[in-house]
Amino acid sequence: DVVMTQTPLSLSVTPGQPASISCKSSQSLLHSDGKTYLYWYLQRPGQPPQLLIYEVSKRLSGVPDRFSGSGSGTDFTLKISRVEAEDAGLYYCMQSIQFPRIFGQGTKLEIK
């Protein structure tokens, strides 16, 4: 199975400041179809997860443009350009190049 490793596991950010989360996979997530199957989800407290980014860098419709995803192969990053209070929660990366789908451990973002 693919192993997904997120760092850091927690971070505390002042509103208006940037934040960055790293996600590394044990295998390349680049498929032969040319797509890279890496996703980012946010789970706010008491809520189900919501999709933010799919295929590394594509924002789901309605996701603020302060969220951006980048990376390739096995190394990926989610960046928030200017953190807002509503961004607090747990962030998960997930791979879907193969079954089983595997989530990272989660990164808790706290707003100072």
Partner 1 sequence: EVQLLESGGGLVQPGGSLRLSCAASGFTFSSSDMNWVRQVPGRGLEWVSDINPAGGNIFYADSVKGRFTISRDNSKNTLYLQMNSLRVEDTAVYYCAKDLTGWGCFDYWGQGTLVTVSS
User: Quick one: which of 40, 41, 67, 91 contacts partner 1 (CB under 8 A)?
Assistant: 41
Alpha helix positions (H), 3-112: none
Per rule CB under 8 A, is residue 10 in the interface with partner 1?
no
DSSP 3-state of 107: strand
14 or 33, CB closer to partner 1?
Answer: 33
**Tokens 């400041």, residue?**
17
How far apart, in Å, are the Cα atoms of 64 and each of 10, 45, 57, 68? 22, 19, 13, 9
Query: Do the beta carbons of residue 109 and residue 83 sit within 8 Å?
Result: yes
102 binds partner 1 (CB under 8 A): yes
Residue of the chain from 12, 82, 105, 110 that contacts partner 1 (CB under 8 A)? 105
Binding site for partner 1 (CB under 8 A): 35, 37, 39, 41, 43, 48-51, 54-55, 60, 90, 92, 94-96, 99-106
